[in-house]
Chains A and B, each alone.
Chain A
Amino acid sequence: MVGYVLRRILTLGPVLLAVALITFLLMHAVPGGPWDTEKPLDPVTVAGLNRKYGLDEPLWRQFLLFLANALRGDLGVSYMNQGRPVTEILSDGLLTSATLGGASLAVGLTLGLALGLAAALRRNSALDRATSIASACAASTPTFVLGAFLVALFSVRLHWLPASGWGSLQQMVMPVAVLAALPAAYIARVSRAALLEVLDEEYIRTARSKGLPERTVLLRHTVRNGLVPVITVVGPVAAALVTGSFIVESFFSIPGTGRLFVQAVFARDYGLIMGATLFYASIVVVANLIVDLLCAAVDPRIRYE
């Protein structure tokens, strides 16, 4: 197990290096550079800017310089927020994005598991059918449509919640609800299916026939074993939260890293694109590692070599 964890940690480096290289190549392959704006700049100015930001160097050298600096914790400076260090910009938005993502994951997991369990225990009931319909709706409604609906209802019509911004508990409600909707729907469906499968297993019938209390049967045998498939999807769900945050942060004007990433791509802000990509790649890779380890902890049948 320890060997497996170490191996996984050691593979992080090559994975992130590959992500960095692919991002760097793609970034320079797409048409248009940071100074190609609707209002064209004078060639003198472009030359000055390229010199200032080291973009007059050959591409291979730019990449090696980026790597060398990144290893020292320096991700360069942003072009769109002129001269501000990328690490400073990312760390500004990090807490916000982490809070938004964490809260959404917690809400999505809790709500999804509760709905999945309730639906499984009352199979084919009205509650089960309602959960299925609600899950399908939540999974198929685009984030911005759900966001627009909530803003129109709770901000414009009822004046209960602020339409945008970040900082207060009230400002968190709608973005978290929007971002948690898809994970909740997904987890509800996965957990319902997993729990139904477990409930049909012979050992559950055996446990019941031995006269174990229903509470023990459910918590110790059903939920614990039913959790494994749910945990395996937490990784992809976390990744979906990351990509979902790009839209939610932009829609609700939340100063997080997701919104920054979108802005950086549109502005061809090379430093910020590289920094944000590596940041999100790290999150996804680490989330997958944690999920694998959690699976092993919950299901004793899983052994890593």
Chain B
Amino acid sequence: MVQRNLVKRLLPAVLLAVVAVLAFACSSDETGAPSTQLAPVQELRLNLGGEPQTIDPNLADDALSVGVVRQLYSGLLGFDENLELTPVLAKELPSQANGGISEDGLVYTFRLREDAAWSDGEPLTADDVVYSVKRLLDPMTGSPYAPMYFDIKGAAEYAMAMGNPADPQPVDEATLAQLRDGVGVEAVDERTVRITLVSPRYTFAYLAAIWPIYPLREDIVESGGDWTEPGRHVSSGPFMLDEWTHNDHITLVPNPYWCGEEPKLTKIVLRMMADPNAAYAAYLNNELDVVIVPPPNVKAVEGDPELSKQIARWVDMSTFAYEFNVNQPPFDDPRVRQAFAMAVDREAFVDKVQFGIGEVAYSLIPPNMPGYDEDLGQQWQYNPERAKELLAEAGYSGENFPVVTIHAPDVGANRLWAEFAQGQFEQNLGIDVELEPLEPHAFAATVMQGQFMIIPVGWGADYPEPDSMLPQNFGSMGGNNLAGYSNAEFDALVQQAMAEPDPQKRLALWNEAQRILVDDAAAVFVSYHERLLLVKPYVKNLVLSGMDAALDGELFLTKTYIAEH
């Protein structure tokens, strides 16, 4: 028992080490240091996949926008190559020992680096942090990420100043200003920011490391609608905006005032090719340096003597599953959900449907995140006989089971995933399953109204801590809880974990919460998402972290360079 606990305790450390090794293994240069001569032209050509909705960090919500925002801005904190928190604009990681976190866990104090500056040479100040946080929460900003910061004192009151969203009330300017002043973020001096929380939350440091509250310059933002265009935009990150031909490409160049590691690349060109096959053709025609391999081309790439040497693959921090509407019969019965969980041949899914891209999953937290437990959910291994028995125990034979409908957005591979599930459930449970593909927005509206039985779902983490996945997707109050799953014990453990200062104890609480979820078969966890890339041999040090949004290696593009070729 002691040994098992020790293994459990060491597991996160081991996993992080594995992630580190994988990250370097995926990079083109294993030493991490340039071992070949730099090419005279340091230009990297990537595919963003489409036009980003915005490069305003307060508003960025989609993967394309986040990918660009991460090049242009930096936060108080960030992540190192092991995905550990690290100071970026802040001088150091806040802790109780250095006075960065108050003893009661309610007040975070960040001291900014002396050399933190904007790309026009202006100093980056505490006011820029305060301005960004308050703008994020402003009810007129409409930021999708505002609710994630409701742990800040006065944040929810300010963001919900108009009252009930279904019946908004007019609010006068004076009241709004009062609520705005009440938000718990203040500039103590030019280089010191203090953030006060409603209750202790020791995972708040992660929220200070992600893009929604990256500092913004008030004079630039308030100067007009086109402040995000080249020439007017200012950066705080490693790169700055050089050119933006809408719907075609974005060009980035190094920010001369960036206070971190100087990029080796002198230019990054982000093409906006939405069709993965077109991007793949462009890579083969030497128009791109990195590309995602479209799944149907995987076998051809693996069998090609040249291309097979250019493959890089790694597991993302995201999980694919089939989710039930747990509040309606027959899926309100855990035995039914468990039967469905045992009726899916996950190996076949990864091999046949995903062309070998991905890893079999039985739980929510993916392998490259702290909290992953490979033993979790093993009881739901593929077993059609036991699945039928479970259905019988729930009072169903194949005949009297209601017709099941699987709704799926008719875009990308969703339809294929739904068809696979249809085949599995029909064949292994002897029930009738109908498929209803819907246009993506119609699908979203259907799901939001709770008018579904089973849907294919993918969950990605915004940061490498289980609270980025567990409470959001399965907490009773979780903003992304589509299934309507509610379990008091799970909710209590999640709350306890968020307020737990000791990372190891916190991890144990997360594990306990996740076990409830998996044992309850809240969803059929099927696979962990993986990326399969082709990288030109002259692209070195492309560090793949598993946290990339739309751009490959986006967190560490300062390290990437082009070798002479």
Q: With a CB–CB cut-off of 8 A, which chain B residues contact A81?
A: 51, 53-54, 246
Q: Which A residues touch B50, using CB under 8 A?
A: 263
Taking a contact as CB atoms closer than 8 A, the residue among B146, B279, B438 that contacts A42 in the complex is: B146
A45 at the interface (CB under 8 A from B): yes
Known contacts A80-B53, A89-B246, A151-B281; A44 and B442 CB within 8 A of each other: no
Say whether A93 faces chain B, with CB atoms less than 8 Å apart. yes
Whether the Cβ atoms of B284 and A155 lie closer than 8 Å is: yes
CB pair A250–B275 under 8 Å, yes or no, is yes
Interface size class, chain A? 35 or more
Does B11 sit within 8 A of A, measured CB to CB? Answer: no
The distance in angstroms between the C-alpha atoms of A164 and B274, with both chains bound, is 11
Q: Is B139 an interface residue (CB 8 A)?
A: yes
Whole-angstrom CA separation of A31 from B143 in the bound complex: 23
Whole-angstrom distance between the Cβ of A293 and the nearest chain B Cβ:
34
**Residues of B contacting A42 with CB < 8 Å?**
144, 146-147, 479
A156/B165 in contact, CB under 8 A: no
Interface residues of A in 57-100 (CB under 8 A from B): 80-85, 89, 92-93
| A49 and B440 within 8 A (CB) | no
For the complex, give the distance between the alpha carbons of A197 and B160 in Å.
74
Binding site secondary structure of chain B: loop
Cα of A156 to Cα of B284 in the assembled complex, Å: 6
A224 at the interface (CB under 8 A from B): no
Number of chain B interface residues as a range? 35 or more
Nearest B residue to A49 by beta-carbon distance?
B142
In the assembled complex, the CB of A94 is this many whole angstroms from the nearest CB of chain B, namely 12
A41 neighbours in B (Cβ, 8 Å)? 144, 479
Contacts of A31 in B (CB 8 A): 438-439, 441-442, 445-446
* B480 and A39 contacting across the interface, CB-CB below 8 Å: yes
Q: Is A299 an interface position by the 8 A CB rule?
A: no
Check A251 against B445 for contact (C-beta < 8 Å). Answer: no
How many angstroms between the C-alpha atoms of A259 and B51 in the bound complex? 11
* Interface assignment of B540: CB less than 8 Å from any CB of chain A: no
Residues on the A chain within 8 Å of B54, using CB:
81-83
Q: Are A47 and B247 in contact (CB under 8 A)?
A: no
Say which residue of B147, B275, B281, B448 sits within 8 Å of A36 (CB atoms): B448
**Are B273 and A259 in touch, CB under 8 angstroms?**
no
Partner of A51, one of B168, B272, B281: B168
Interface: B286 (CB within 8 A): yes
Please measure, in the bound complex, the distance between the C-alpha atom of A255 and the C-alpha atom of B249, giving whole angstroms: 9
**Do residues B285 and A155 form an inter-chain contact, with CB atoms below 8 A?**
yes
Expressed in whole angstroms, the Cα–Cα distance for A41 and B140 within the complex equals: 15
* Nearest CB of B to A153, in Å: 11
Q: Is B141 an interface residue (CB 8 A)?
A: yes
Whether A36 and B247, one on each chain, are in contact in the complex, defined by CB atoms closer than 8 angstroms, is no
Interface residues of B in 240-281 (CB under 8 A from A): 245-249, 271-275, 277-279, 281
Q: Are A48 and B142 in contact (CB under 8 A)?
A: yes
Residue contact A255 to B248, C-beta cutoff 8 Å: yes
For residues 25 through 65 of chain A, which have their beta carbon under 8 Å from a beta carbon of chain B?
30-34, 36-49, 51-52, 56
Chain B residue with Cβ nearest A164 = B278
Distance to closest chain B CB from A151 (angstroms): 5
Contact pick for A162, options B51, B277, B282, B443, CB 8 Å: B282
Contact mask for chain B residues 126-149; partner A; CB cutoff 8 A; 1 contact, 0 none: 000000000000011111101100
Besides the known contacts A51-B162, A52-B141, A148-B277, 16 further A-B residue pairs in the complex with CB atoms under 8 A apart:
A30-B442, A32-B440, A34-B441, A36-B448, A37-B440, A37-B441, A42-B144, A45-B143, A80-B51, A81-B53, A81-B246, A82-B56, A84-B225, A162-B287, A163-B284, A250-B275
A sample of 5 cross-chain residue pairs with beta-carbon separation below 8 angstroms, ordered by A number, consists of A32-B439, A32-B442, A47-B166, A51-B162, A250-B274
Residues of B with Cβ closer than 8 Å to A?
50-51, 53-54, 56, 59, 61, 139-144, 146-147, 159-160, 162, 165-166, 168, 225-226, 245-249, 271-275, 277-279, 281-282, 284-287, 409, 438-448, 479-480, 482
